[in-house]
């Protein structure tokens, strides 16, 4: 059963206060409808629901502060049978409201009902749980529909819930049964234990399973109970400066989409963006990189992306007005440059890990860091350092061939830098028309914090740095 939860409205948001309900039990709601107003300690924000349906029960009274992820209300899918609904109603916070749960009317305006895949799979089991289980799940913010029931008939028992809670807290690693040797092999090979079907006692993963998964002789079976990406450090998945790609059904893209949607909506709604773009000549950078990479082993080669990140990290040091956060109607400059790097996930959606102290890393170190966070991000296996709150973000779509990208700022940051592809372009050089590798760098910045002049200064600084790549 879909639930409407306390949304994460920013990297730093851990709880929110429900100020006002805009809907009543029994109201039909549609995706995008404002259902409540939430105080995030920064601002009162109208929050929307992401499903069509009927508000089942308001679980949290107005004025209550609850952690992010806490179910605020149940949303019955349109057309749910009343009998099921009654059984599914969790133990109520206020008994009075439970008795007034209305019968779900057919939703008149939602002929096609988008339902997250796991809801369909899990619906049966969600209703086979005792009220106690419902209550614990509600308190822990666990959607019972996503919990696999191990008891006869798929009934969810306490152990299943504990496992789900543990999983959410520590990721899958904590609950995968695997031998120490298998863990080591998996770690070395860079494969996720949770993705491997174990052949040992009680499904324990053993070395042979890891080897089979790595060699591909036994295709890594998909996890039967995929953990939503949102269960990972949510601070990482905060920003979506580019349009999402087609989503493959893995890692619950719907959840990722929701996070991105909330963050982007908030950004576009609250941040007055201004945009600048600048064409940067990459002849010097390209030549220097080619020369450098010729002299080092293949593993030590540096990609142009690392060079661009280095330039941004150093440039923003000279323009500190763009490096920091806009909080409580005030700009708070950051003392470090923590660079957010937008990584597109193969399953769709994006995740934005951070390279901490990027301005202090030498170019090879930055390259290593970039490779590390990109790999971990794509494996959806970030470290806590990767979730360091970024002070400025870079999105690089150059490898996808676009000329330029204007990013959406990841609030509460105040700027995002976009890089397009380096392409051979005709341009005037020393009074003659020449063909040179060039790149369009863009800046989307928060107009509350800075004006175009400062942005221009920043882009100019990036340009200047890239003309002397050997000094980066």
Partner 1 sequence: MTTYREAVREALREALIRDDRVFLMGEDVGAYGGCFGVSRGLLDEFGPERIRDTPLSESAFVGAGIGAALGGLRPIVEIMTVNFSLLALDQILNNAATLRHMSGGQLGVPLVIRMATGAGRQLGAQHSHSLEAFYAHIPGLRVLSPATVADARGMLWTALQDPDPVLIFEPIALYNSEAELPADAGAVDIDSAVIRRAGTDVTLVSYGGGLRVAEAAAEELAGDGISAEVIDLRTLRPLDEATVLASIARTHRLVVVDEGWRSVSISAEIAARAAENGYYLLDAPIARVCTAEVPIPYARQLEEAALPQPGVVAAAVRKAVS
Q: Which residues bind partner 1 (CB under 8 A)?
A: 179-184, 200-201, 206-208
CB of 183 to partner 1, least distance (A): 7
| Whether 338 contacts 373, CB under 8 Å | no
Q: How far is the CB of 207 from partner 1 (least distance, A)?
A: 4
Rounded to a whole number of angstroms, the minimum distance from the CB of residue 202 to partner 1 is 11
User: How many Å separate Cα 285 from the centre of its chain?
Assistant: 32
| 60-61-67-72 Cα dihedral, nearest 10 degrees | 30
Residue whose CB is less far from partner 1, 142 or 185: 185
Is residue 314 within 8 Å of residue 217, measured between CB atoms?
no
Run of H or E residues at 350:
strand 350-351
CB nearer partner 1, residue 111 or residue 180: 180
Q: How far is the CB of 215 from partner 1 (least distance, A)?
A: 17
When the beta carbons of 182 and 441 are compared against partner 1, the nearer one is 182
**Nearer residue to partner 1 within complex by CB, 201 or 431:** 201
Nearest to 413, CA basis, from 231, 235, 229 = 235
**What distance in Å separates the CA atoms of residue 233 and residue 144, rounded to the nearest whole number?**
21
If the CB atoms of residues 184 and 360 are measured against partner 1, the closer one turns out to be: 184
- 10 Å CB burial of residue 295 (0-12, 13-18, 19+) is exposed
Q: What is the nearest approach in angstroms of partner 1 to the Cβ of residue 169?
A: 23
CB nearer to partner 1: pick between 182 and 260:
182
Q: What does each C-alpha distance from 52 to 81, 241, 302, 440 come to in angstroms?
A: 16, 26, 48, 41
Residue 163 or 211: the one with the smaller Cβ distance to partner 1 is 211
Q: What is the 3-state secondary structure (H, E, C) of 419-462?
A: ECCCEEEEEEECCEEEEEEEEEEEEEEECCCCCHHHHHHHHHHH
Q: How far is the CB of 179 from partner 1 (least distance, A)?
A: 4
Least gap, CB of 206 to partner 1 (angstroms): 5
> Would you say the C-alpha torsion 325, 330, 332, 337 has a positive or negative sign?
positive
What span, in angstroms and rounded, lies between the C-alpha atoms of 327 and 281?
Answer: 36
Residue with Cβ nearer partner 1 (180 or 243): 180
DSSP 173-203: GGT--B-HHHHHHHHHHT--GGGS---SGGG
Contact 342, 352 (CB under 8 A): yes
Least Å from the CB of residue 379 to partner 1:
21
Instruction: Judge whether 341 and 370 are in contact, CB under 8 Å.
Output: yes
Q: To the nearest whole angstrom, how small is the minimum distance from the Cβ of residue 422 to partner 1? A: 44
Nearer to partner 1, 57 or 209 (CB): 209
């Amino acid at each position: 059963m879909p639930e409407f939860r306390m949304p994460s409205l920013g990297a730093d948001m851990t709880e929110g206060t429900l100020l006002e309900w805009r809907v009543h039990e029994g109201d039909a709601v549609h995706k995008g409808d404002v259902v409540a107003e939430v105080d995030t300690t920064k601002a009162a924000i109208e929050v929307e629901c992401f499903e069509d349906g009927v508000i089942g029960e308001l679980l949290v009274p107005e004025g209550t502060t609850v952690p992010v992820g806490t179910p605020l209300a149940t949303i019955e899918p349109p057309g749910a049978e009343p009998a099921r609904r009654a059984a599914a109603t969790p133990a109520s916070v206020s008994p009075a409201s439970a008795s007034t749960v209305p019968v779900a009317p057919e939703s008149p305006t939602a002929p096609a009902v988008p339902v997250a895949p796991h809801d369909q799979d899990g619906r049966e089991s969600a209703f086979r749980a005792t009220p106690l289980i419902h209550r614990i799940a509600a308190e822990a913010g666990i959607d019972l529909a996503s919990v696999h029931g191990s008891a006869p008939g798929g009934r969810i028992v306490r152990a299943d819930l504990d496992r789900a809670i543990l999983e959410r807290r520590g990721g899958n690693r904590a609950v995968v049964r695997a031998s120490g040797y298998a863990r080591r092999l998996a770690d070395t090979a860079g494969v996720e234990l949770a993705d491997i079907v174990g052949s040992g006692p009680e499904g324990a993963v053993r070395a042979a399973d890891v080897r089979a998964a790595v060699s591909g002789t036994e295709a890594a079976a998909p996890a039967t109970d995929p953990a939503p990406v949102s269960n990972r450090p949510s601070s990482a998945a905060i920003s979506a400066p580019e349009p999402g790609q087609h989503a493959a059904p893995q890692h619950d893209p719907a959840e990722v989409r929701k996070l991105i949607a909330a963050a982007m909506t908030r950004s576009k709604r609250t941040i007055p963006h201004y945009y600048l773009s600048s064409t940067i000549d990459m002849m010097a950078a390209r030549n220097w990189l080619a020369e450098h990479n010729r002299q080092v082993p293949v593993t030590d080669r540096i990609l142009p992306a690392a060079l661009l990140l280095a330039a941004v990290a150093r440039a923003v040091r000279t323009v500190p007005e763009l490096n920091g956060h806009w909080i409580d109607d005030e700009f708070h400059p950051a003392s470090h440059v923590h660079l957010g790097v937008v990584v597109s996930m193969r399953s769709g959606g994006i995740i934005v890990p951070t390279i901490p102290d990027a301005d202090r890393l030498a170019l090879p170190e930055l390259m290593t860091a970039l490779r590390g966070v990109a790999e971990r991000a794509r494996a959806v296996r970030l470290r806590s350092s990767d979730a360091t709150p970024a002070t400025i973000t870079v999105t690089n779509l150059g490898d996808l061939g676009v000329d330029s990208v204007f990013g959406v700022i990841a609030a509460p940051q105040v700027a995002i830098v976009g890089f397009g592809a380096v392409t051979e372009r005709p341009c005037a050089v020393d009074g003659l028309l020449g063909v040179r590798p060039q790149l369009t760098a863009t800046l989307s910045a928060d107009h509350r914090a800075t004006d175009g002049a400062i942005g221009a200064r920043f882009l100019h600084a990036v340009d200047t740095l890239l003309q002397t790549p050997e000094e980066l």
